[in-house]
Amino acid sequence: MSVLGGLLQEEPNVVTAGIGVLHESLLAQGAAAEPVAWRPPLEGTAGALTATMADRRRADANRAAVGRLLAASPHLVDVRPARDALQLRAGTFLHAGPPISLDRASGPLLGALTGAMLFERLAGDPDQARARLDAGRVTIEPCHHRAAVGPMAGVVSPSMWVAEIVDTVHGGTSYCPLNEGLGKVLRYGAYSPDVVDRLRWMSDVLGPALQAALRRHGPLDLKALIAQALQMGDELHNRNRAATSLLIRALVGDMVECGLPTKVVADTLRFLDGNDHFFLNLGMAAGKVASDAARDLPGSTMVVAMARNGTDFGIQTAGTGDRWFTGPAAIPEGLYLGGYGADDANRDIGDSAIMETAGLGGFALAAAPAIVRFVGGDVARALSITRTMYEITLGESTAYLIPILDFRGSPVGIDVTKVVRTGILPVIDTGIAGKVAGTGQVGAGLVSPPPEAFVSAIVALGEEADRQRSGQVGQGG
Amino acid sequence: MTSIVESRSGIYHDSVSLMQVSRRVSLVKGVEAALVAMATRLNLDLLTEMGFAVPDGARPDDLVVAVRAADEGSLADAKAELDRALVEVTTPRDGFAEHVPTRTMHSAARRLPATIGLISVPGPHAFVEALDALESGLNVMIFSDNVPVGQEVMLKDEARRRGLLVMGPDCGTARVRGVGLGFANAVESGPVGLVAASGSGAQQLCCLLDHAGVGVSHVLGVGGRDLSAEVAARSTFQALEALDADPATELIVLVSKTPDSAVAASLEAAVKTLSTPVVMALVGPGRPDLSEVATEVARLMGRARPVWFHLGASPEDVPRGGALWGLFVGGTLCQEARAIAMPLLGAVGTELPVQAASSSDGGGRSSGHLMVDFGDDRLTRGRPHPMIDPSLRIAALLQAGTDPGCAVVLLDVVLGYGAEPDPAAALAPAIRRARSIAAAGGRDLAVVVSLCGSTRDVQGYERQADELHHAGASVHLSNAEAARVAVSLAKGP
């Protein structure tokens, strides 16, 4: 057995952090040395960071957290109305991001709620819908509080159909609405008649058709599908073309044979074919159920949710239960459609940052060179972003491998302590919604959470650690 | 014909990697069939088809290893190849992307298989990096000072749990397998291992031993507080055990400032259980000084009694009578000089006098004897160590020139890796200037330099000694000798 990790037996290779002269002295002696580009932690976090690092539960809790996130095995098991799946009552709507009151809600959220009220026939026209919203006649609640995730505005109403995803390893369940496609769609805050008509068709035709095909097919392994899609150029957030194609391939046989009218089968398949992003919602629910498997591990500093409501950006950690740590959501940097520009953009919105929470999206950008120009970058930047995300994560995916990084697993499990230490914020690649209700999508780009969310998370984790330590002392005395 | 079938849990590899591993194992001479795969239904069927028994209770996330070979020898070769191949599959990969800088100890340790993390970030941040280094499997050298003692104890307990060593905090020097870390002199390798709670003490011993023809195996620093009651020699015990087990080390020297008495007693007891002889170099009043220790170690190693290098004395080598100012960058060198001076001079202060507003006031002796350690925590907060940035001490040297009471200045200069590239370049002119200021006031300021270094140090030992001597200083390799010369000059006729 080697003494002190081979200190006196092996080559004295050294990792250095701090004074450059001491690093250069090692090189001058011909020793191998790797420098850490160290910098002070985010302002105001040093005390909480020390307390959190000193928490004796942290290392094991984080190992368990990232282990559960990686071990989760999400399967698509059913598609059914939100009313039944989420016990959603008439007049209650789910939305993306951390909790928010209607008076602080952004344009796209209000637009999507307006559209959802029209869809649910709770209002006859947009003005009536807005009046009822303003009068507080509806109840809104985060998707995350019902084990659900919704992209962009993330509005889910009782009559919408949702997909149900089960983690066959840990037994968790998650839900997502069905993706409407691009352009003028509810999730980007549009509520014109064609938006509402599409939603009706999705509930009347698409949902039941998918249900029939899926029930005939049996549970569909989403982890395997995502792993393949990643090697086909998707990063599963802004590019879902391969994943959507694979989904169609997996279901098409059962859809043909499950006894649906030919017209329904054809319309359903054409709709899926025409919507490259159909898989996004399923991927999000897969990320949600995997992240949820890591919840409630005291001492863990791993992020289990990142979500935005168009006003605030919120995160949750495995060690702090259901508390949200928030800061102002930023405006993404990216490319704009047609004549739109940054002035038209709403603040960052959507539960889709669950993809980055689970190690995909911006974290796997290196796997998706085909879309880097669409989000306003180049291939070198995409590689650099993924490489940088390893600096703030606890593990590497065993299933999601990135070919261009020589099949290195994608960076998984954002560690609040590492974000605070390095000042590196997660990179999320995302769509951009118009800030005026009813506009729809105006662009796509990259965005990061506000540092404030991580600062308040580390403060809370530090307080938890201190409480735990004083609790132990108390028990000991 | 012989075979093995086993399942291993907790290991996951993708199927392509495992196909490569299987192929490598099957190419080993004498191997008839081999399968290394995750225990999925499909792979277990394949195993059966290949004529292997399916291991009991194998789950899909277990790794199954099955090899059939002509004889035991081939089977052993196959297992060895398997282990190599599995290690290679898990070896960090980089792909084609450009490097991004590593930002934490953890990620740097992933890039370079290392045994040591060297941390010199500001003290309040050292704990976080050190803990990260330990969790990444690295021994840690904490060069930083101003680390709270509670954090030191926590880190050392964590290190012991992991079978690792924490050197520091405030660990100025270490040497592992010939590589110096922090401040370190280029000395020959040899049979003497040092455990050092004192950086400058360890450097002085290394240089004296080098001069005496005795080389050093390793220097394991433990930090200046390790032998305090609070830290209770946590790292010292580990370092002693490691050197005791090291075949290259024939004799251990434990160098420290005066330890806590209870800790010293437990150390004495522990030392007796070691198979390697241990010489104690505990600098302090009534103890042998480091030069005496080095002489004793040289004797034990069968070397001739060393004569320490020195170069001249101050031009007018006559006792002045007056205050002795010791201005040190090495804490233990300061303490050693103090232990030598106090019995002969009486009280020796630790702080510089508040500088007079102008040199015309006063006129009498403004101060008594003093020895200042510029490397002390209090003086390094928010600024580099004085071995790197000499400005504070040079200011003090000029103050000695103006202070009418000061008759003798004693300075230590430490050469080696990490230290200033040319200390004499700044110090020699300052010595000249201090002496000329004093001369203008009718005083002959004597300057004595303790020059700690080896002949192979990058700064050039002889050149540094010459330049300091030409500036009017006497130069001594032995700090104790320098202190005695300075004391005799200050004592007066």
Q: Which of A40, A402, A409, A61 is nearest to B135 (CA)?
A: A61
State whether residue B53 sits within 8 Å of chain A by CB: no
Supply the angle between the helices A193-201 and A107-119 in degrees, to the nearest 10.
60
Query: Would you call A4 and B139 a contact, using CB atoms and an 8 Å cutoff?
Result: yes
Mean pLDDT of the A33-46 span: 94
For B233: left if phi > 0, alpha if psi spans -120 to 50, otherwise beta; the answer is left
pLDDT score of A473:
52
pLDDT score of A477:
33
Mean pLDDT of the A183-202 span: 94
Q: What is the average pLDDT score of chain B?
A: 90
Between B492 and B444, the more confident residue is B444
Residue B83 C-alpha, separation from nearest chain A C-alpha, in angstroms: 18
pLDDT-derived band at B90 (thresholds 50, 70, 90) equals low
Angle at A391 between CA A386 and CA A392, to 5 degrees: 95
pLDDT-derived band at A303 (thresholds 50, 70, 90) equals very high
Between B402 and B386, the more confident residue is B402
Separation between Cα atoms, residue B407 and residue B491, nearest integer Å: 10
pLDDT score of B88:
77
Q: Which two tokens stand for residue B23?
A: 């192929």
User: Shortest CB distance from A405 goes to which of B93, B103, B176?
Assistant: B93
Question: Would the pTM count as exceeding 0.90?
Answer: no
The DSSP secondary-structure symbol of A348 reads P
pLDDT score of B93:
58
State whether residue B98 sits within 8 Å of chain A by CB: yes
pLDDT at residue B109 tops 80: yes
Q: Quick one: what percent of chain B has pLDDT higher than 90? A: 73
pLDDT-derived band at B38 (thresholds 50, 70, 90) equals confident
User: Shortest CB distance from B116 goes to which of A12, A40, A46?
Assistant: A12
Mean pLDDT of the A29-47 span: 94
Between B321 and A451, the more confident residue is A451
Mean pLDDT of the B403-430 span: 94
CA distances from B398 to A371, B429, B476 (A): 66, 10, 21
pLDDT-derived band at B265 (thresholds 50, 70, 90) equals very high
B341: CB partners within 8 A, 6+ apart: B324, B326, B348, B369, B371, B483, B486, B487
pLDDT-derived band at B353 (thresholds 50, 70, 90) equals confident
pLDDT score of B356:
52
Span A98-134, pLDDT tens digits: 999 999 999 999 999 999 999 999 999 999 999 999 9
**Best residue in B128, B149, B216, B237 for a mutation probing chain A (most A CBs within 10 Å):** B128
Separation between Cα atoms, residue A205 and residue B19, nearest integer Å: 45
Span A327-370, pLDDT tens digits: 999 999 888 887 888 899 999 999 999 999 999 999 999 999 88
pLDDT score of B360:
45
pLDDT-derived band at B365 (thresholds 50, 70, 90) equals very low
A54: CB partners within 8 A, 6+ apart: A465, A469, B127, B131, B151, B154
pLDDT at residue A197 tops 70: yes
Q: Provide the chain B residues 372-411 that lie in CB contact (below 8 A) with chain A.
A: 384, 388
Neighbouring-strand partners of residue A411: A396
pLDDT at residue A85 tops 60: yes
Span A53-79, pLDDT tens digits: 999 999 999 999 999 999 999 999 999
Mean pLDDT of the B99-107 span: 91
Query: Would you call B116 and A14 a contact, using CB atoms and an 8 Å cutoff?
Result: yes
Query: Would you call B120 and A401 a contact, using CB atoms and an 8 Å cutoff?
Result: no
Span B216-232, pLDDT tens digits: 999 999 999 999 999 99
Residue B465: its H or E element: helix B461-470
Mean pLDDT of the B190-212 span: 97
Q: Is the distance from CB of A402 to CB of A410 less than 8 angstroms?
A: yes
pLDDT score of B363:
43
pLDDT score of B91:
62
Residue of A nearest to B147 (CA): A50
DSSP A78-146: EEEEHHHHS-PPTTEEEESSS---GGG--HHHHHHHHHHHHHTTS-SSHHHHHHHHHTT-SEEEEGGGG
Supply the ipTM of this predicted assembly.
Answer: 0.92
pLDDT at residue B362 tops 70: no
